[in-house]
Amino acid sequence: MAASVCRVGSSVGRALAKTRNPILLSLRRGQASVSYAQSLVGAPETQLTALDNGFRVASEDTGHATCTVGVWISAGSRYESEKNNGTGFFLEHMAFKGTKKHPQTALEQQVESMGAHLSAYTSREHTAYYMKTLSKDLPKAVELLSDVVQNCSLNEADIEQQRNVVVRELEEVEGNLQEVCLDLLHATAYQGTPLGQSVLGPSSTARNLTRQDLVDYINSHYKAPRMVLAAAGGVNHEELVGLAKSHFGGVSFEYEGDAVPVLSPCRFTGSEIRMRDDGLPLAHIAIAVEGAGVSSPDVVPLMVANAVIGSYDLTYGGGKHLSSRLARLAVEENLCHSFQAFHSAYSDTSLLGIHFVSDKHHIDDMMHWTQNAWMNLCTTVTESDVARAQNTLKASLIGQLNGTTPNCDDIGRHILNYGRRIPLAEWNARIDAVTPRMVRDICTKYIYDKCPAVAAVGPIEQLPDYNRMRSAMYWLRF
């Protein structure tokens, strides 16, 4: 989330700043915990610097003996075409097969000798390569990351080997019905647009990609203004900027023929997709409407609304005393095995929805009460509902302080999304500003009388007709 506005100029100043940190003070005094207010005040600021080529460097210094550092890139399946869908995911696999300077064995030995952990992920809009290591090894970590990102060898033999690996992963994902259901939800909600494509892509892409396809993908997307070097933990920002200049200062910011990749508008379509399989024991069903993009002021009220609905799993304690009304109904009426409200947000759109797992006899009832929960957000949400949801969100925010890796990921993604990292105190103020009236108005804007997207997998004979689900978005309000 946020860029820094303050930098402590000397090592003495930094030491004094750390001494005043209430979280560190509490540890020195032997306190077992700190208050929520102390956590907000004690959260270190994120410093942000841009190099001459547009490459950005962002860091958060917590004074730990370890750190996580990585490169976040505006590249993912949304930037791919139907022909090359899955290229970014395939390239992620190739990153660890060695570079021109460090063959695979040498790269693995370097990482292991540091006691570090090197990883990567690809999403619909972002790609990340990151390493968790000791703070003293930050220079070596940045050097290795730079080599992995800029000088991947893309050996033909390795490409052929990875084809089989990627195909096997695709087969494994097909066994994860929740992932299948949510991918199908994107496919129907954003049909005919890049956002409807899965991150992994089809097996045909893995079988037919060439080395030149991978080179073209890198040349198109791995440009300095689309990249962020993020770090969290025991990190000196000035040192990190110096390392970035040495290893990323030469990254190109120019495009051939000015062919700058841009996100094409993604049209939401109210629709459904069903994969009926009566041989499966449980059905996975997701229903969603189009929500706000990540930068919209409507995002926080929608987050509060989702927290009001909450989540449920059979393993939860509490039973009929759970705070979520939908969860209490799930227990009392045996409606489902689990459900989860979600908000999959992208740069200019999002899916605001609920995913649930149910046996074939309770699908109709669970869908009715799921949509009823949405209508309640538009009409009857109360002060106590909102207060509980606000506390849930705040607890989640503080949970992000637990570890350098989630903090680093947060920095990288939000510099790409917002151009800055929003401080915890600002998130807290935005959450506190949400009122029941605001929740009702925003939810009415996005939910009431809207065409939903629905995806269902498994024994789904009892799933209501789409037109019935669509009409419920209107009639359940009365």
Q: Report, as residue numbers or ranges, the catalytic residues.
A: 92
**Closest by alpha carbon to 459, among 275, 324, 336, 237?**
275
Dist. CA 127–CA 145, nearest whole Å: 13
Dist. CA 407–CA 401, nearest whole Å: 6
How is the beta sheet containing 271-276 ordered, strand by strand? 271-276, 453-458, 283-291, 350-358, 338-345, 311-313
* Secondary-structure breakdown of the chain: helix, strand, coil percentages, each rounded to the nearest 5: 50, 20, 35
**Closest by alpha carbon to 236, among 415, 53, 10, 5?**
10
**Closest by alpha carbon to 213, among 80, 394, 324?**
80
Residues 343-346: contacts with CB under 8 Å, at least 24 apart: 343/291, 343/299, 343/302, 343/303, 343/306, 344/182, 344/186, 345/291, 345/292, 345/293, 345/294, 345/299, 346/78, 346/124, 346/125, 346/195, 346/266, 346/293, 346/294
Contact indicator for 158, 91 with CB cutoff of 8 Å? no
CA dihedral 100, 242, 217, 211 (to 10 degrees): 0
Contact indicator for 164, 209 with CB cutoff of 8 Å? no
Dist. CA 169–CA 184, nearest whole Å: 17
- Residue 144's DSSP bridge partners are none
Looking up tokens 């900027």 gives 241
**Tokens, residue 191:** 């049909």
**Tokens, residue 332:** 């009392």
